[in-house]
Structure 1
């Protein structure tokens, strides 16, 4: 049975790696393979040969995997059917529906899920499968605190919205946001249009349902915590532990927790649910055993009718379900809930279930409910942590023998008896400490490859930080938060303030522990083979004593810990243009150096510097930047610079910024040398020459776009030109000054393809083979301009655009250009 459940999970995982859903031929072949596997297994198990039985076992696993593959494919077909037609993107649509989940409010407005009245939407739009759930943003255009209405779960509204298909930024080494939208069943995103902002109408009544009732509880608890803690620095962590909402956790807290390997404690994890369920089960059993005192009143001796152990098990499962509901049923919470449920059912029915079987059942139930859970970090971190613990605990099971006394009689001396009691307690304490150390060792070792894959780092102080952070949060903070959840106002305020004080003490301890830079080991995101080898090494290391060649297991980690150089060969360079929406960010890599040209939008818009640029650099092994070039001060080019300067060492800032711009000071405080872009600047790295062509030395032009740095990169067989937002007058000056100096095979298109740039003489001077348009999906500027796009297409240039192709990577291989489009080489069936 265990193999069947794991085979089902394997099939679900394989489906989520496919570039397209299976067609009629694939379905037919899969059905034939399933029938063949079942028939072969049935034939084999009628034979007595052991090797045949092993073959039948493999056939059963294959059949279960085909079932999982087919189940996930059918779920995907149904979910993808609810799609917004391309022709309806960007149009005003009047919709009625209700608020779902917990709305997230920030300085720009509020973001929320909207459950659409699909029957009305189908009648008004004629779309047969209108998306039932959409994600909306209601922008606060007046910047007044009370300008936007309070949006609560279940409230019904009629809104005019503008929608687009679920489209996310697609980049090498960065999480796929489209997969997250699909997992949440969000089949369209958009915003409340300006026409509706003033005329939005709240409809009478409220939507009902168990899920909405839970959401209203969570909403009220979050509002109460916000009122009690107000501007407290760690309010977001208390909220996350109470209702599972992590939107209020500050960037400083996230950074601290990631750097110390304790970020799993911010969420309502399986550990917290198991602890709370255990405490409540113990309390329920204690009370039930003492209910015999009520026998005279009830005339029933309840503990004799229903054993206290069964009552405790059922109470623990019920409390676990309640707490998981408060957490929003995230994957770790689901895993803990289903494991407790399976154990409780087995206990009540008088059965004994192996821990690995419990984990396998929880795995299958989670994937039955949500086949897309396998694309989230929480799924892998949660299940692999429990698997590692079970593996190391199973390998160290011991039967504890009670002390034996000579002549089968205990010593008569009081001193001897006291000494024996102390010795027994010390031995038990020693066993518990050793067991806790083994568990911490297993979790640290087991999750290290996944931590590198998802976060491109290993916190070296993680085991030490977790040694006191886990009991601190689990034994002190979480129960205190739950006391505040249970108590009525105003008594709950005392508990929430006490919980915040405990979190504040924890943050201070972690801050003192995470000071040195060496405490974080930065590593590039491993490929499939390196990750598989490291996973094999983990299992090998966690095997019990006596396992053959256990000492050699760390050798399997070498591809993960000592990856080959990621840069191109000497004398060449690599260009990677990121997909950051409407903005620009390009990485130039030589054999031993890296230059980042622009950083995309910042907090004023999409947080692309923090969400995309920094994770991309870390996942691709860029530990430091030899140069950060900020072409000019526009926010879509310079907004993410702060995030880059805070996360990655920068040796030099080269920018086309006015002297008063704050980035000069920020770069200096980060330890970077600062220099203004000026034509004539020239340097060489690893046989690659870099030349600044614009702007001229002296005062900067008054127009912001005319201040853009223009950088030319030249190596034997390949050259590239990065132009920022340079405008037509600047292009004319560059053409008149040095026409031949502009020639390049790769061109990052000026000003995202605006009609104010890319003049005919400029393109003739460059004569590019590849042109890269960095534009946002359905951006409000309508970049690239159709006439400019046609101008490039008429020259038979290979065109790429980030809204369609995602990030693009261009290498020189023996003098020939190799172009890689992310959405082609890493395609998944859900990509729009």
Structure 2
């Protein structure tokens, strides 16, 4: 079964990488492949030879992979047929249904899933699940209880997420949750709560989870670690503070925030022991239950049952599912009188998780959970401890010497057992650390160097003390539950104090760029090589396979060239400019007042690209869609200089100075050169800023310095190459465009243009556009944004000139390579397309 489930998982993973779902021709080919593989496997097994048996299992693996690919494709097709037609986006639709899952409340309102029962739109396959926001405008939204039925007027759009290199795919997450449309409650005053509630075990469990969350909130109120207590109780992480998240990411203990497999396994074991203890003592109530059913079977079944309850409270996340299936398979095997190998148990859990949810493979939790358990099993396979009884002493005498010798032997035995447990625990920690390091770099672009030390005390502290206290609070009635929740919070205070001491020095976190597929595969080979049983040849050479991961080759542009990446941040602007040895960020996108793009997209992209230092952060002007993410950038990476078109009273000046950045007002005439690339500020003029923020936005010109490398000597008859120029125009409008035209038209000539003011009708005048003469123009606009950018007439103006266009709402992030007589444009959604995009 290991080969079957592993092959099935490979097929599911293969499907999730496809740009399009398989057609009938491919499905017929897969069917033929399955039949052929089964025939080959049968013939190989009949031969009986060792090599033939291996070939047979390989054929089984191939057949299972084909089945997994087809199954995942079928599940995807049945889910994608439910969609919102484009013509119904942005229109008022009245829907009736019920609240699904736990609503997430914040100061801005409440976000929730809505299961649709009826809609007034004549759509054949209307989305079954919506993700809605109820915005708190004049009045706060009502308390939305899981299962409560409502009739709401909503405005919807198709599932759409920001698409960037190194940033989580939001559309894949929506598909995994079966969300086929998102939107907001348009007319809150017309919302009507209907009679009755939805039924089903899921609604009942969600009601329990909601009640537990309310109890914890009532006890801990504004306590700093209340969110962690809620996460450990019901698996909901939305209330965990940003400070706690940052601390746990730096120390590699983020896995402890959720109800992980470790917590469920520990609590299930504790529940099984308690059930067995009570079962043994049934004689005190006049029963002889152990004579009917052995205590071991009762303990095993009770532990598995409690694991199921605890996993339900966790919302059945992937680690919880994995632990539940493993506990259930072990319990079934034990009750049936069979001992199942741990690797078989893990393989069954892998297959059952993917049968239930083929999209689990797009989440980091899936890979971290299964790889951690697999590493433990593989790493400990060659280190089994064999207990040996000491040989009887033939010279055993009576008296005090014998007693003393027996005491000494008992102490040595206990000491040896303790040392053995410490060694075993250290070996487990080593295996998990080594196995998860490549995945940590892949998903989070960092390795917490103090992770093993932090987890050495954080895991037992949370598992043995904090989690039982939280479970006790859930189980106990008032007022005793308050004591348990406060105790759990005090224990978390002690834990975070210790983690802060460990994470103080900057060297404790090793930032690394997100690896490519080859570097990750090489590191995976090194993990298997390093954790192989004793006697494996050349184990000392295993760390060499990690070099592509830990010391990647530089991906920076060549000397005299630059790379411009216009991020997809929704409605706003943020552009990363890289030269051979320097990096500049032009604007930082929206902040907490809108989409949190600074911390959600800009900083993760910089970290994934291996950019830990910004030589300059340019904030063009004070509008929040350009400056709102700057505090998150200043907090997330080192910024050496802030160059901005901000008024003196703006708080960003103080924030940047507190972070050690040099602060300079941007003004026309400022020039510098990095690595053979020229930079110049064309606007605003020196002196006090006047007018609205758009009128004094910084305009940056970037040039490849006549297309010649700075170190290259020009030959007498060499033909001078034309420079490649980019113009980042911020949000300037027609008056500023006219002013720039009257000064120096030649300075405006550029092949690359960041379209002014997102393509609004107040900018991109025809004389300005003709003077620039761009080959490539980039529109940074949000999907179906409320400003209706870009303006249709302006967009047609660009198209009429034959300019190659990129829109972030259609193409995602855009990357432009500009170098020695070279200019190329890459659109993220084209080169990293998946079958769920634009569906």
Same fold (TM over 0.5): yes
- Structure 1 residue 815: Cα displacement: 1.5
Matching of residue 605 in structure 1 with residue 590 in structure 2: no
| Partners of 1:721 and 1:747 within 8 A in 2 | yes
Partners of 1:130 and 1:589 lie apart in 2 by 45
CA pair 561-738 structure 1, distance change in 2 beyond 3 A: same
- 1:318-340 C-alpha deviation (Å, 9 max, x unpaired): 10000000000000000011000
> The residue matched to 2:667 in structure 1 has which SS?
coil
1:568 corresponds in structure 2 to 557
1:357 corresponds in structure 2 to 344
2:514 corresponds in structure 1 to 525
**Which has the higher mean CA deviation after the structures are superposed, 149-158 or 411-420?**
411-420
Partners of 1:623 and 1:703 lie apart in 2 by 34
Matching of residue 506 in structure 1 with residue 495 in structure 2: yes
Q: Number of paired residues?
A: 819
Matching of residue 371 in structure 1 with residue 358 in structure 2: yes
Matching of residue 733 in structure 1 with residue 739 in structure 2: yes
1:762 corresponds in structure 2 to 768
Structure 1 residue corresponding to 2:454, chosen from 443, 465, 470: 465
| Partners of 2:561 and 2:820 within 8 A in 1 | no
CA pair 533-411 structure 1, distance change in 2 beyond 3 A: farther
Deviation beyond 3 Å, 4+ runs, structure 1 = 408-412
- Structure 1 residue 408: Cα displacement: 8.4
| Partners of 2:724 and 2:819 within 8 A in 1 | no
Q: Please show how residues 411-490 of structure 1 align to structure 2 within 5 Å.
A: 413-490=402-479
CA pair 527-488 structure 1, distance change in 2 beyond 3 A: same
> The residue matched to 1:768 in structure 2 has which SS?
coil
Partners of 1:148 and 1:352 lie apart in 2 by 54
> The residue matched to 2:646 in structure 1 has which SS?
coil
- Structure 1 residue 58: Cα displacement: 1.2
Matching of residue 150 in structure 1 with residue 146 in structure 2: no
Partners of 2:550 and 2:379 lie apart in 1 by 23
2:53 corresponds in structure 1 to 53
Instruction: With the length of structure 2 as denominator, give the TM-score of the two structures.
Output: 0.97
> The residue matched to 1:283 in structure 2 has which SS?
helix
Matching of residue 724 in structure 1 with residue 718 in structure 2: no
2:240 corresponds in structure 1 to 249
Instruction: With the length of structure 1 as denominator, give the TM-score of the two structures.
Output: 0.97
Q: What stretches of structure 1 of length at least 5 have no aligned partner? A: none
- 1:638-691 C-alpha deviation (Å, 9 max, x unpaired): 000000000100000000000000000000001100001100000000000000
CA pair 531-411 structure 1, distance change in 2 beyond 3 A: farther
Q: Please show how residues 277-292 of structure 1 align to structure 2 within 5 Å.
A: 277-292=268-283
- 1:672-731 C-alpha deviation (Å, 9 max, x unpaired): 000011000000000000000000000112211011100000002421010110111001
> The residue matched to 2:614 in structure 1 has which SS?
coil
Partners of 2:77 and 2:395 lie apart in 1 by 71
> The residue matched to 1:407 in structure 2 has which SS?
coil
- Structure 1 residue 28: Cα displacement: 1.5
- Structure 1 residue 25: Cα displacement: 1.4
Partners of 2:159 and 2:215 lie apart in 1 by 33
Partners of 1:447 and 1:796 lie apart in 2 by 49
Matching of residue 302 in structure 1 with residue 281 in structure 2: no
- Structure 1 residue 816: Cα displacement: 2.4
Structure 1 residue corresponding to 2:217, chosen from 208, 220, 226: 226
CA pair 712-472 structure 1, distance change in 2 beyond 3 A: same
- Structure 1 residue 798: Cα displacement: 0.2
Structure 1 residue corresponding to 2:665, chosen from 668, 676, 679: 676
CA pair 330-680 structure 1, distance change in 2 beyond 3 A: same
CA pair 411-684 structure 1, distance change in 2 beyond 3 A: farther
- Structure 1 residue 411: Cα displacement: 7.5
CA RMSD across the alignment: 1.0
- 1:488-541 C-alpha deviation (Å, 9 max, x unpaired): 112100000000000011011101110011110000000000000001100100
Structure 2 residue corresponding to 1:643, chosen from 632, 645, 656: 632
1:752 corresponds in structure 2 to 758
> The residue matched to 2:368 in structure 1 has which SS?
helix
1:181 corresponds in structure 2 to 174
| Partners of 1:292 and 1:303 within 8 A in 2 | no
> The residue matched to 2:835 in structure 1 has which SS?
coil
| Partners of 2:560 and 2:819 within 8 A in 1 | no
Structure 2 residue corresponding to 1:788, chosen from 766, 784, 794: 794
Partners of 1:108 and 1:497 lie apart in 2 by 28
Partners of 2:398 and 2:478 lie apart in 1 by 57
Partners of 2:280 and 2:50 lie apart in 1 by 51
> The residue matched to 2:589 in structure 1 has which SS?
coil
- Structure 1 residue 352: Cα displacement: 1.3
Partners of 1:421 and 1:773 lie apart in 2 by 77
Partners of 2:337 and 2:396 lie apart in 1 by 37
Q: Please show how residues 554-593 of structure 1 align to structure 2 within 5 Å.
A: 554-593=543-582
Partners of 1:258 and 1:418 lie apart in 2 by 47
- Structure 1 residue 813: Cα displacement: 5.3
> The residue matched to 2:826 in structure 1 has which SS?
strand
Matching of residue 138 in structure 1 with residue 137 in structure 2: no
Partners of 2:321 and 2:742 lie apart in 1 by 66
Matching of residue 828 in structure 1 with residue 834 in structure 2: yes
Partners of 2:214 and 2:47 lie apart in 1 by 65
- Structure 1 residue 174: Cα displacement: 0.6
> The residue matched to 1:518 in structure 2 has which SS?
helix
| Partners of 2:728 and 2:754 within 8 A in 1 | yes
| Partners of 1:566 and 1:621 within 8 A in 2 | no
> The residue matched to 2:568 in structure 1 has which SS?
coil
- Structure 1 residue 290: Cα displacement: 1.1
- Structure 1 residue 403: Cα displacement: 2.1
1:818 corresponds in structure 2 to 824
> The residue matched to 1:479 in structure 2 has which SS?
helix
**Which has the higher mean CA deviation after the structures are superposed, 805-814 or 347-356?**
805-814
- 1:323-371 C-alpha deviation (Å, 9 max, x unpaired): 0000000000000110000000000001111100000000000000000
Structure 1 residue corresponding to 2:686, chosen from 687, 692, 697: 697
Partners of 1:4 and 1:408 lie apart in 2 by 58
- Structure 1 residue 812: Cα displacement: 2.6
- 1:189-235 C-alpha deviation (Å, 9 max, x unpaired): 00001xx2112111111111100000010001101111100110010
- Structure 1 residue 806: Cα displacement: 0.3
2:310 corresponds in structure 1 to 323
2:390 corresponds in structure 1 to 403
- Structure 1 residue 760: Cα displacement: 0.6
Partners of 1:494 and 1:35 lie apart in 2 by 62
Matching of residue 62 in structure 1 with residue 62 in structure 2: yes
Structure 2 residue corresponding to 1:334, chosen from 321, 325, 335: 321
| Partners of 1:776 and 1:802 within 8 A in 2 | yes
Partners of 2:446 and 2:417 lie apart in 1 by 36
Q: What stretches of structure 2 of length at least 5 have no aligned partner? A: 708-722
1:657 corresponds in structure 2 to 646
**Which has the higher mean CA deviation after the structures are superposed, 37-46 or 67-76?**
37-46
Structure 2 residue corresponding to 1:270, chosen from 256, 261, 266: 261
- Structure 1 residue 52: Cα displacement: 3.0
Partners of 1:18 and 1:814 lie apart in 2 by 35
> The residue matched to 1:547 in structure 2 has which SS?
coil
Partners of 1:487 and 1:48 lie apart in 2 by 60
- 1:769-814 C-alpha deviation (Å, 9 max, x unpaired): 0000000000011000000000000000000000000001011354
Partners of 2:504 and 2:555 lie apart in 1 by 29
| Partners of 2:668 and 2:681 within 8 A in 1 | yes
| Partners of 1:235 and 1:248 within 8 A in 2 | yes
Partners of 1:400 and 1:706 lie apart in 2 by 80
- 1:72-97 C-alpha deviation (Å, 9 max, x unpaired): 00000000011111110000000011
| Partners of 1:459 and 1:519 within 8 A in 2 | yes
> The residue matched to 1:606 in structure 2 has which SS?
coil
Partners of 1:338 and 1:631 lie apart in 2 by 54
| Partners of 1:134 and 1:187 within 8 A in 2 | yes
Matching of residue 772 in structure 1 with residue 778 in structure 2: yes
- Structure 1 residue 268: Cα displacement: 0.3
> The residue matched to 1:466 in structure 2 has which SS?
helix
